[in-house]
Structure formats: C-alpha cells, structure tokens
Amino acid sequence: MQGSAAATYTLGASDLARAPLNGVKCVNTTTNAQSCSFTFTNTPCIDKFECMENGLTYNNRTTTPTARNPIYTKMMSTGFELDAVAVLTSGSQSTAYTATGVVVDLVNDNGGTCGSTVIASKTVNFSAADSGRKKVTFTNSDVLGSYPNLRCRVRDLNLNKTGCSSDNFSVRPLALNITNVAPQQLTPSHTSSPVRRAGQDKFSVTVSTNEANYNGTPKVDSNKLDTHAGGTSLGQVNGLFGKAISGVSSGLDFTYSEVGHFRFQAEGVYDDTFTDVDIATGDCTNTFDTAGNGTPKRFGCKFGNTVASSYIGRFIPDHFKITASTSYTDGCGVFTYYNQDPGLITPFVLEAKNAADVTTQYYTGNYAIFGLNNWANYFFELQAVAPNQTIPDGVTITASTTNPAGTWNSGVANVQARHRVTRPTNPVEPRSYRITAQPRGNDGTELVNSTRAEILTPTDPNVPQPRFRFGRLAVTSAHGSELLPLSVPIQAQFWNGTGFVRNRDDNCTAIPVTSITMRNYRGNLNACETQLSIASPMSEGELGLRLSAPGVTGTNPNTGSVDLEVNLGAAAPTERTCTNAVESAATNGAINWFGNPDPIGRATFGVYKAPIIYMRENF
C-alpha cells in the first residue's frame, strides 16, 4: 500500500452491492484494536530523481513536457552546486522524501540518457527539512578536466531507484594557451629571418588547455590580430586547426595575407562549439566570460587565449606586379636621342602582392625593403616592336645618371624611371621600342620575384609612339667682316634613313658657351679678340652662336680665323675658350648623345667678302 506522504489514513469501501452496506470492519494488528484508521510514518514511494541547477524553480515535466530543469555550463577546476530532486510518479516533487547514502554522479551522456562513465561522485542525505530537494556541492578539485556533454545521475541504492537529469551540460576549459608558433619573433624587426611569403608559405600554431580531456577544434579570429606597427591588422590568417588530442591542437598550414609581423590578441584563437549542448538552450552566454553572470552563474560559451601571443613572422610579399601607365615623357619633347641622359621617362605603378594577388597594405616604411631608387632592381629590357624588326647593334637600355623616383605607400609605389638607350653602332632611322621590367629584390633571405611586364608599349593606339633618333651636331663655318659680329649656326641633325637632316623638333638641346673650345688661331686674329656668346637652348633644331667683332688693333685689322669645337663630352686640359677678354679653360660638355668626334667649324674675319652686298634696316 502506498500513500502520498507520511500521514493517518482511513480505510473504507464504497459501491457495495449486498447488505450490510455499511458492514466494513477493520482490525489494527499493531494495537489489537478494531479501527479502520492507520498511520504511514515511513517515506512515500518515489518514481525517479531529477538533477538541476541549484536555486531554480522545479518544473513538472510529466504534466508539462516542454518545461526545462536546466543545468548551466560549468568550468573545469571551478566549484558549482546542483540540486537533486525526488520525483513522484505524478511528476511532482516528493516533499516528504528522506533517505541516507544517496549517490549523485556526473556521468557521460549516452544518446540522451546517462552513461556509465563516472566523472565525479558525491553522497548526500535527504532530511525532512530538505522537502525532497537536496543541494549537492562539487568543489574546485572534483572536475579537473573539460567535457563536452555530461548528465547528472541520482541513485537511492536502498530503494533501487535511479534518476537521470533531463538536461545535459558541458564543462568547458578555462582557456586556450598558445604554446608554440613558428616562426616566432619576440621583438618584430624589418630585417629578421626566416621569412615567409604572404599568403603562400606556411607557419604553425599549437594550443593547449593544459588538461587531457579537451577534444575540440579551435578557430582563428582574424579580427583580433596585432601588427608590428601597432593596432589591429588588416591581414587575414587562413588555415585550420586539427581536432585536439589529449588537450592539444595544432595547425601546420596557416598562411598570413600581409607583410611584416603579427600576433594574436587575446581571444584571437578561440573555441565556440565545444559547449554546443548549452548554446542552443541558452545555458551559457555568447561571451568569453569566466566570472559568471547572474544567479545562478552562467559562464561564456566561448573560450580562447587570454594573453597576446609572441609575434609571428617576418612575412614578405609573394611577388611584385607592374601596371603600365598610358603616358611617358620623351627626353626632348616628342622624341629621344639615342644615349640621351636624362632620356625617356616611363611612369608605372609597382605593387607588392600576396599569393592571392591582393596588395599588401603593410609593405611600407622600413618593411618596404625593395629599393625603388635602384634602376638595376627592375631588370629592364628593350624589345623590338615589329615581329621582323631587330635591335640595332650597340643598342641597349641602361641606367640614367638620375635614379628612378618613387615612394612606397600601403604596398603601392608610383615610380618614374629614367632610361638611357645607348647609341647604335651605325646610323639607323627613327624607331620605337617596347620596354619591359621584372622587378626582383632580395628581401632578407628570399628573392621576391615578379612576372616580366611591359611598362611601355608603343603599339598601343591610345599612346603616342616614342621615337629614338640617331643624332649628331653640326657646326657650320661662317665668315664676315672683322668690324661686325659673326653668327655661326650650330644645328642638331638626325638620320632619317637616307641621310642627316635638320631636327626641327629639337627645342631642348642646350650648349654651355664655356664648353666651346676656341683654337687654331690664324692670320692677325689672336685669342679673345673675338668672344663667344650663345642663345640657348635650340629653337627648331638650331642654336645661334655669336662671336663679337674682332675690330682693329691700332692700325692693324684683326683679321683671320679661329676653329670652334663643341665639347660633347669631357674637355681636354689644354683646351681654352673666350667669353670675355681673358682666356679661360674650356669646360666639359654634357651632350654625348650626339656621338663623336666633337663637331668643328671655322669662323673667319676679313679674309673673304661678306655674303651680304648691301643691307639696310628700316625702323
């Protein structure tokens, strides 16, 4: 016979069919008295147990199956409290249940029921004051590992009754510890080695929970990366961790999309799925909280590294990429002389790229090691435009005396490179060329290469074609009266395919007057009796050199001649010139693109008749 609680009950009969209808008699064998009243003093019979979060209201799941008696996420090595509840067949709490030696176990979940693997165990006694609900305390040392899916089991060994918690729960690690990264740098430096190519070369990361049970799979949060320059990185870490074994997870195939160094900020490596059994039910918060929130406490569903890692790197660009400009600057207006320096100027854009061909933002400052100002780093080449055309003998592309110019800014440099295209061995007609480059730089211990690309394509119909001209300088001999100034024409010429013609496009050539040597005086003409002046630069390919009138010394006319030599390059130590009354050393020329030898002409005074018979000026 079972009663709902300890109390006095009266037996009776109803719906009797035969007389006497009230003839029920009872005998109490304990008191030997005739009475239908008797007393239950022992604990009522229970059906099962529930186990739930301490302090929450118990819900009858027999009458309300959707109701919950939750157990929140727990943390390893952190004490917590649960309540064991005695439950009647009706699903109600058995408030009169008392017992001793009730065992409360934390066990593995086995397909929605309690498994047989015991994680921790406590023994409790139910007194009348507990009203069928007993608090069970687990200390910091009871659960020293992490578990993704547990349940609470309650057993009354005397009554042979067992109950399994309706809710399962997880015990999460305290944190993830980054135990190893490679390559590792304690202090980032733009010259450190080894190096890895951005987005290409692999590096490894190992994390641990410092206990053997963790079997989750960590992740990387690329929004929580620090750069070598400070601040949050724009780079991305790609790669996957392996499933942890004995609390340790490693990833060997990570790549970083940027240049320089980075490190993981706190929570840069994390796990947000280990507590999945509690996430869907809201039994943990979507945070990294380890202090707990509310009463009873709910911890964060997520956990990760709590301190920043060491720096990882150094990372360098995977390759450089050139984007040609649609414009260029000729050395002399609309053309360039062979060997002219400074000659052709080609602007182009150079970008430092990762393996995915994305510009690396941190290739700048000290970390931009490629020397933009070193012409040799670009490995320029000159190529013929037409398929049947060859490069003339003697023609190569070489560095100008003016270095390329450019500055790295967020992985991008706008470069202006100056080139000198050497003079052919023999005269050639004006030609266009294709110029390509393949920037290469030794960045520490690795060669950063690129694909050869055009920086100048003269066949593009949208771009005017540059023309290289084989030039020379001609000094035309002149004669006139010693009483008048004398003009000596100096003309720039180029080979048009059949002969040298005046280069009317030349409005740039300038000749320093001191670079014109005066020598081989003849007749009655002596040094500095006539002096040089010049109108420079050229206009339509011609430059006006002017000699002052020698005049008359005493009764003797200063007639005679002088040879005029334009120094295209270096002047000889003995060469002299006259720009005033005192003879001075001639200076070097700087127009060696006109070839050699130096052009020479002769100015003659008073020896020949002037070519002008009569001249009149009208005002």
Number of H helices, E strands in the chain: 1, 48
Task: Tell me: do 494 and 417 sit in the same domain.
Answer: no
Using DSSP bridges, classify how beta strands 161-164 and 177-182 pair: parallel, antiparallel or unpaired.
Answer: unpaired
Q: Are residues 330 and 441 located together in one domain of the fold?
A: yes
Domain for residue 188, yes or no? Answer: yes
Q: How are beta strands 184-185 and 516-523 bridged, if at all? A: unpaired
- Residue 532, beta-bridge partner list: 547
Residues 512, 516: Cα–Cα separation, whole Å: 7
Instruction: Give the Å distances, CA to CA, from 40 to 1, 3, 6, 153, 545.
Output: 10, 7, 5, 29, 138
Residue 265, domain member (yes or no): yes
Residue 456 lies in a domain: yes
Q: Same structural domain for residues 335 and 444? A: yes
Residues 310 and 189 in one domain: yes
Q: Are 75 and 190 in a shared domain?
A: no
Quote the CA–CA distance of 380 and 376 in Å, as a whole number: 8
Strand ranges (DSSP E) for 422-512?
433-437, 441-443, 446-450, 453-456, 468-469, 471-475, 478-480, 486-495, 500-502
- 341 and 311 within one domain: no
pLDDT tens profile 604-618: 999 765 555 556 667
- 184 and 301 housed in the same domain: yes
What does 246-306 look like in DSSP terms, one character per residue? TTEEEEEEEEESSSEEEEEPTTSEEESSTTHHHHTTTSSBSS--SS-BTTTTB-BS-EE-S
Is 619 domain-assigned? no
Which of 260, 292, 316 marks a domain boundary? 316
CA distance 221 to 198: 18
Same domain (yes/no): 335, 432: yes
**Enclosing domain of residue 592:** 471-605
How high is the mean pLDDT in each 10-residue block of the chain (619 residues)?
A: 60 64 67 70 78 97 97 98 97 97 97 96 98 98 98 96 98 96 85 91 96 97 91 91 97 95 96 97 97 94 96 93 88 94 92 96 93 94 85 95 95 95 96 90 72 74 73 96 95 96 96 96 95 92 94 93 96 95 94 95 82 61
pLDDT for residue 259? 95
φ, ψ at 200 (rounded to 5°): -125, -60
pLDDT of residue 446: 63
Domain end call among 139, 172, 205: 172
Q: Which of 412, 435, 408 is nearest to 346 (CA)?
A: 435
Q: Is residue 252 part of a domain?
A: yes
Residue 618, in any domain of the structure: no
| Of 129, 152, 172, the domain-final residue | 172
pLDDT of residue 385: 83
Q: Judge if 359 and 282 occupy the same domain.
A: no
Is residue 616 in a domain? no
Contact 524, 557 (CB under 8 A): yes
In a domain, 287, yes or no: yes
CATH number at 145 reads 2.60.40.1930
**Does residue 320 contact residue 350 with C-beta atoms inside 8 Å?**
yes
Contact (CB, 8 A) for 317 and 357:
no
Please say whether the beta carbons of 529 and 603 come within 8 A: no
Asked whether residue 337 falls in the same domain as residue 440, the answer is yes
Long-range contacts: 281-287, Cβ < 8 Å, 24+?
Answer: 281/68, 281/70, 281/167, 283/70, 283/71, 283/72, 283/73, 283/167, 283/169, 284/72, 284/73, 284/170, 284/172
CATH number for the domain harbouring residue 487: 2.60.40
Contact present, 172 and 147 (Cβ < 8 Å)? no
CA-based end-to-end distance of the chain: 148
Same domain for 283 and 361? Answer: no
Q: Could you tell me the two tokens for 220?
A: 């990387």
pLDDT value of position 376: 93
Do 342 and 462 reside in the same domain of the chain?
yes
CA distances from 459 to 169, 347, 456, 536 (A): 72, 17, 9, 34
User: What tokens appear for 421 in the block?
Assistant: 């295209």
CA separation for the pair 165, 71 (Å, rounded): 9
Residues whose CB falls within 8 Å of the CB of residue 525, separated by 6 or more in sequence, listed in order = 482, 550, 558, 559, 560, 561, 562, 605
- Number of domain units in the chain: 5
